């Protein structure tokens, strides 16, 4: 691929993908289209300062003019742009529909007009809903249970419909929970690591026995590059880390790496509709020759170290960003006031 459009490239996974693409394919032209919402951060793209094969476009994927500008001359599109936080979607879901459904539609329309060779829609394992035993395969029915995953499911199926109806070479990927450097500190791992560094409480929802399959972000980025070059249009691929861990175990692991006491854990009111467990079969992707390199032990160690070494990245967000402060207050103040020790 000569020129690749990375939408949402200023976010956590999109920026990792852009950095991976630059490292692995030094001749690729990279265009990033990003609205720079609260989750977008140009610090994540510092590597590209002065790079002649890189262009940044500030814009909304739901704005046809911005999309037309960014997609000009591109032969591949990877859509990372999304509203991504489940808890925020429970408080207000309008933006999720605008970006995760309508924005995907605008991108697909332009991709069809331009005639791109590949369109990868980055979906999520949350579209399957929860699974108490076993693991989801790509052919399982979709049963999203919160407004974020329902909106992502709309984008996922809309993307596939452009393959089935118009022959647009779309690939859909459904990844499990990512973690690693540059993770916005509203999500479980970066929130708990940065709170623990500052001896602040760690607000664990419900009984803490919810299970996620953790995928190191660099493994996800490599899987996407692999699928860009080797995936088959019209197909959907699960991308998982093979690391199922309960939230309470992760919390204890973080505290132990940092040498902090377990008394920082606070059991707080649960997330409504909280999916108990996610698990993916990645047999289809592994049969093509991809597998994750990071086990959870290695990945969590290096993630915690990254946050310890990069306070200059997260402290301004947590201490000075009004959008973060307001969110924290709205989601956690009452929960923490009525919390119990673990
Ligand atoms: P993130 O919240 O860190 O970043 C999202 C990025 O999209 C930000 O840079 C933001 O500014 C940008 N954006 C939001 N709305 C936009 C719009 N309307 N137009 C243009 N840009 C916009 O998200 P992330 O964790 O990096 O997730 C990236 C993608 O991967 C999302 O599609 C998400 O659904 C999917 N995904 C995430 C995970 C995970 O664990 N984080 C797992 C599976 C799938
Ligand atoms: O599974 C893929 C999904 O993973 C992605 O599609 C989403 O974009 C991404 O945000 C993530 O969703 P989760 O809801 O699983 O991630 P989060 O980090 O918000 O929560 C992980 C688990 O930790 C979940 O069981 C809820 C719990 N949790 C989370 C927070 C923020 C807590 O107990 N306390 C918290 O404060």
Ligand 1, residue 239: give the atom nearest the CA: 43
Measured in Å, residue 19 CA sits from the centre of ligand 1 at 16
- The single residue listed with the structure tokens 């693991």 is 135
Measured in Å, residue 339 CA sits from the centre of ligand 1 at 30
pLDDT, tens only, 122-172: 999 999 999 999 999 999 999 999 999 999 999 999 999 999 999 999 999
For the chain, the distance separating the N- and C-terminal CA atoms, rounded to the nearest angstrom, is: 51
Q: Is residue 115 part of a domain?
A: yes
Beta partners for 212?
245
Query: What is the extent of the structural domain holding 19?
Result: 3-179+214-239
Q: Is residue 187 part of a domain?
A: no
Dihedral angle over CA of 98, 223, 139, 158, nearest 10 = 20
Q: Is residue 106 part of a domain?
A: yes
Of 34, 126, 156, 244, which one is the catalytic site residue? 126
Mark out the alpha helices in the chain (DSSP H runs).
12-24, 64-71, 86-91, 94-97, 104-114, 147-166, 188-197, 217-230, 247-258, 283-288, 296-309, 311-320, 322-337
pLDDT of 333: 98
pLDDT, tens only, 226-285: 999 999 999 999 999 999 999 999 999 999 999 999 999 999 999 999 999 999 999 999
The answer to whether 326 is a known catalytic residue is no
Ligand 2, residue 86: give the atom nearest the CA: 14
pLDDT, tens only, 77-119: 999 999 999 999 999 999 999 999 999 999 999 999 999 999 9
Q: How does residue 342 score in pLDDT terms, banded at 50, 70 and 90?
A: confident
Q: Is residue 290 part of a domain?
A: no
Q: Is residue 47 part of a domain?
A: yes
**Nearest residue to 130 (alpha-carbon basis) of 176, 65, 189:** 176
The answer to whether 179 is a known catalytic residue is no
Is residue 316 scored above 90 in pLDDT? yes
- Enter the tokens of residue 281: 């079969």
The 3 state secondary structure assigned to 75-132 is: CEEEECCCCCCHHHHHHCCHHHHHHHHHHHHHHHHHHHHHCCCEEEEEEEHHHHCCCC
Count of domains for the chain: 1
State if residue 304 touches ligand 1 by the CB under 6 angstroms criterion: no
Ligand 2, residue 124: give the atom nearest the CA: 6
State if residue 176 touches ligand 2 by the CB under 6 angstroms criterion: yes
DSSP string, 37-53: -TT--GGGGGGGTT-TT
pLDDT of 1: 81
pLDDT, tens only, 189-212: 999 999 999 999 999 999 999 999
Of 125, 213, 219, 244, which one is the catalytic site residue? 125
Q: Is residue 307 part of a domain?
A: no
Phi, psi of 36 (to 5 degrees): 55, 60
CATH number assigned to the domain comprising residue 227: 3.40.50.720
- Enter the tokens of residue 72: 């000009």
Q: Cα separation of 155 and 172, whole Å? A: 10
**Could you give the percent of the chain with pLDDT greater than 70?**
100
For 139, other C-beta atoms within 10 Å of its C-beta total 7
Q: Is residue 250 part of a domain?
A: no
Q: Is residue 158 part of a domain?
A: yes
Measured in Å, residue 315 CA sits from the centre of ligand 1 at 21
The answer to whether 27 is a known catalytic residue is no
**Predicted TM-score of the model (pTM):** 0.99
**Nearest residue to 155 (alpha-carbon basis) of 130, 117, 122:** 122
């Amino acid at each position: 691929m000569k020129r690749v459009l990375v939408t949402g490239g200023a976010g956590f996974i999109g920026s990792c993908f852009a950095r991976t693409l630059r490292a692995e394919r030094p001749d690729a032209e990279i265009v990033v289209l990003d609205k720079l919402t609260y989750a977008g951060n140009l610090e994540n793209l510092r590597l590209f300062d002065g790079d002649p094969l890189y262009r940044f476009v500030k814009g909304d994927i739901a704005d046809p003019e911005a999309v037309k500008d960014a997609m000009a001359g591109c032969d591949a599109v990877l859509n990372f742009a999304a509203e991504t936080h489940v808890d925020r979607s429970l408080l207000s879901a309008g933006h999720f529909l605008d970006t995760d459904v309508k924005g995907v539609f605008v991108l697909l329309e332009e991709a069809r007009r331009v005639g791109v060779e590949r369109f990868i829609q980055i979906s999520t394992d949350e579209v399957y809903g929860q699974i108490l035993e076993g693991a989801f395969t790509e052919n399982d029915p979709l049963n999203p249970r919160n407004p974020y995953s329902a909106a992502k499911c709309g984008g996922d199926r809309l993307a596939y419909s452009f393959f089935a109806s118009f022959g647009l070479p779309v690939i859909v990927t459904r990844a499990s929970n990512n973690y690693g450097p540059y993770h916005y500190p509203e999500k479980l791992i970066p929130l708990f690591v940065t709170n623990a560094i500052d001896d602040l409480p760690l607000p664990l929802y419900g009984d803490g026995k919810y299970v996620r399959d953790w995928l190191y972000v660099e493994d996800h980025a490599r899987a996407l590059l692999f699928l860009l070059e080797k995936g088959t249009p019209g197909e959907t691929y699960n991308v998982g880390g093979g690391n199922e861990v309960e939230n309470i175990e992760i919390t204890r692991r973080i505290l132990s790496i940092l040498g902090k006491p377990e008394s920082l854990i606070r059991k707080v009111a649960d997330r409504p509709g909280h999916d108990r467990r996610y698990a993916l079969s990645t047999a289809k992707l592994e049969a093509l020759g991809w597998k994750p390199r990071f086990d959870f032990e290695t990945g969590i160690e290096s993630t915690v170290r990254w946050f310890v070494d990069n306070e200059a990245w997260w402290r301004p967000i947590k201490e000075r960003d009004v959008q973060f402060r307001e969110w924290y207050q709205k989601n956690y103040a009452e929960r923490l006031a009525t919390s119990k020790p673990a």
